Structure 1
């Protein structure tokens, strides 16, 4: 057996001993583990370390050191079918260098937790079974602590109907909270009904979260079919008194309501019986200035750190359907 295959089989054995299932002990997951600990075919496990690696860097390592050339469209498979489960099991931590990095950032990275590194550096060992037992106990504590920390950092949002939801931490979801707590009372009032809110832990193809609010039947009554719901902006609020539908993009990393985005939404809302109002919401003027050239005419701009004001991009009226 050559050195590449030898390391691959050893990585599978380690993952099996850590309780990983069949899909997380296959070649793909074993190569990912080898990349995460930077163990090459001719190095020893005692040299294992924990670099911070993006998915692309993991794929580059596997290609360079083990000759497996994953195509670019394999990123999602690696992320969803291996890294996500490694994270759930406590083997790795995402964004150790920046816990508030957006989930959809190209700079998301992964690194092994210290108990795993300590274990790998002892492979193989006569007391391997006991070492694994100690490692698993430490990982259980890490998982529990992570859950407690996440719970503490959740962002609570009180909806107009007084129900409360909690979003995962991060600048994007904080802007979501500001939109509900500051924009809606100021510019929509008591007649506002929140029909859609996405948590960045799940929206735009990210794993591990959920749509926090999705009023499917109400959206359908307004003429918005279910097949369009995953293409909605970050927040959708219906003003029942004026029959206006506020479509709000929360802009921290991805873009505002651009001309192209406006055109797509107009097409999607062709059968909607409410008047659409397009809003690009920003946390502050600094972020607004980065995106100002992309904002579509006939749309509104709201900035969270000056919540009682709005900017209207041209047109014959301020704040209303066009």
Structure 2
């Protein structure tokens, strides 16, 4: 049976566009797996039959040697002749080559390494690192995604299957969050309540904080407040706050989210700020929220402060991380089972602690 890559290969621009479709931009080193060099590397592998189940293998220098003119010679015999030539002792000396010879190391260390990390490229086992033997080839399930005849729902389904098999959990979570941002309405679900929010990144992260963070890090969470610019205190939260005798003034600056811990370990108010641009739990913000809590008769010991980001790689986190208050927590939606505690060892609440104390 003739495979799709036996006929005319897709050009480099098509491969680059398809890589952008396949590889989310939130994966580590995504640029190296989606840029023009990545597209050219994938093209050369297809061209040389460096594919799982085929006998071709490539080394990084082969990407540098390829030319636009050669890439158009796509019969099997022409491709096999070229492969034999560039793997032989006498290399073609073509001034139109795609890259200079000294580019092979970045292609190996950046491009191929990034594509290997996500399972797009595999390596022949047992070849010494110092050997010049060709060792790299495309994984079969990745090659299937490059088929130009695939489109629409069929392509989307295959990409989704491939992502689950190869991408880290965090990347899949972030991709899911981004897809949710496009919905016309975000429903935050807790208990028997489905609270509607307007679309956008802040609403998606609020949903993650309520449905994932609270379930992972609280015994018996009860959502007391979801504050939006359009409606600072929704009526349904007003009743809960009144029942708990908590005084919330909608004219004052409110946190994005307040969740009460009502489990057996004791009552606690958890103030949460959702950050997609700015506005973390800073020291001044923490003081304001403590005043709000004290107005309801709660002490500092009964309050916890959390800043929520999409990811550690999010530009919003890099922008504000130095201003986040000591003694507060940081939670990333793409690492849902992990949390950062900015411990203040001089705090009157914790007392001075050694590393051994903290590790216990």
With normalisation by structure 1, the TM-score equals: 0.45
Task: Please say which structure displays the higher CA radius of gyration.
Answer: 2
